[in-house]
Amino acid sequence: AQSVTQPDIHITVSEGASLELRCNYSYGATPYLFWYVQSPGQGLQLLLKYFSGDTLVQGIKGFEAEFKRSQSSFNLRKPSVHWSDAAEYFCAVGTNYGGSQGNLIFGKGTKLSVKP
């Protein structure tokens, strides 16, 4: 069965420090991969997506992610964190075959806190 694991429930980083949020997936075929961000009480906003091609994907707000097939990972990175990046981050894998094509399976999220 398809699944997404975000090993870190909560991460705290200092403002200006680099960030890496981990995501591992289990999927039988070439996955569609996404990172979303959610501020408290709000909906989810798409940061970036990977469908095919270049394994290093650039997104909005200075985020990037790298798809590593051999490690079944799609980690999110940012070189310098801003206080406004404090939020919850969700990794998701999209199913691309069968009757549920287009559905997303989400990880449980990583909450990011930023220290001044």
Interface residues with another protein (CB under 8 A)? Answer: 9, 34, 36, 41-46, 49, 90, 94, 96, 99-104, 106-109
**How far is 15 from 116, CA to CA, in rounded Å?**
5
Smallest gap from Cβ 68 to another protein, in A, equals: 21
Instruction: Give the nearer residue to another protein in terms of CB position, either 25 or 94.
Output: 94
Beta carbons of 25 and 1 less than 8 angstroms apart: no
Smallest gap from Cβ 15 to another protein, in A, equals: 26
**How far is 102 from 80, CA to CA, in rounded Å?**
33
Smallest gap from Cβ 13 to another protein, in A, equals: 20
Exposed/middle/buried for residue 14 (C-beta within 10 Å: 0-12, 13-18, 19+): exposed
Instruction: Give the nearer residue to another protein in terms of CB position, either 14 or 39.
Output: 39
**How far is 66 from 22, CA to CA, in rounded Å?**
10
Instruction: Give the nearer residue to another protein in terms of CB position, either 15 or 44.
Output: 44
Instruction: Give the nearer residue to another protein in terms of CB position, either 9 or 29.
Output: 9
